[in-house]
Amino acid sequence: MEKQLKIIGMSGSLRKGSYNTGALRYVEQAMSKDVVYKTLDISDLPFYNQDFDTSGYPDVALAFKEELRDADAVLLATPEYNYSIPPVLKNALDWASRGDEKPLVGKLAALLSVTIGPLGGARVQYHLRQTLLALDMKVLNRPELFIADAAEKFDEDGNMQDEKTKKYTKRLIDALVEEIKKSK
Ligand SMILES: Cc1cc2nc3c(=O)[nH]c(=O)nc-3n(C[C@H](O)[C@H](O)[C@H](O)COP(=O)(O)O)c2cc1C
């Protein structure tokens, strides 16, 4: 039997009512049923420091890498913090990049960003692309998805409400699944 495709989502926000985490809840709901999708909780990863390379990695980091090992792609949903990548997400990517096993090398990544302002995270996405280049990932170029003015498109619990935004989000995940299939 053919192995099911697997996509891992990660949110760059730990906020309870996060719009970005909410976007990933919509992704889970809208994902094609033949794909295994899971949003990973990256909040428990300690801050990476290079001493771990000699002292050994904590179980939580090993479990994180294990989840990434059999994934075909990752989907990153993130706010922009001061024009750049929120530390929680950068930390997770740094963990994934260390050790003998580098579970993201050569894999596909798709990006979306949600902000309350009018730019929708244009700057953070280009910083993320730079980091993902260092991780030797293949980032989907199209479609791009910048979700601006989030308060008008999500409810206060962070659930996506706007139909057009749902349509664009679905378009992004469908393109990612298509690209994974092409790469097989
Ligand atoms: C520390 C910090 C820095 C921020 N910097 C930016 C920024 O550079 N650009 C931007 O568009 N929004 C910025 N924002 C606003 C975020 O877009 C907004 O808080 C967004 O809702 C966060 O996403 P979340 O709902 O997923 O937590 C910043 C927010 C915080 C807390």
- Asked if 47 and 141 touch (Cβ cutoff 8 Å), the reply is no
Cβ of 119 closer than 6 Å to ligand 1, yes or no, is yes
Is there an atom of ligand 1 within 6 Å of 117 CB? yes
The pLDDT value given to residue 2: 76
CA of 8 to the centre of ligand 1 (A): 23
Mean pLDDT, the chain, whole residue set: 97
Strand partners, 39: 9
- Pick the residue whose CA is nearest to atom 20 on ligand 1: 115
Residue 1 pLDDT: 66
CA 173/CA 134 separation, integer angstroms: 23
pLDDT at 153: 98
Ligand 1: centre distance to CA 57 (Å): 31
Establish whether residue 12 lines the binding site of ligand 1, counting it when its CB lies within 6 angstroms of any ligand atom. Answer: no
Residue 5: the pLDDT is 97
Helix-strand-coil split of the chain, %, nearest 5:
40, 20, 40
Please, what are the domains in the chain?
A: 5-183 (3.40.50.360)
C-alpha of residue 82 to centroid of ligand 1, in Å: 7
Question: Mean pLDDT of successive 10-residue segments in the chain (184 residues)?
Answer: 91 98 98 96 98 97 96 98 98 96 97 98 98 98 98 98 98 98 94
- Residue 79 CB–ligand 1 contact under 6 Å: yes
115 lines ligand 1 (CB under 6 A): yes
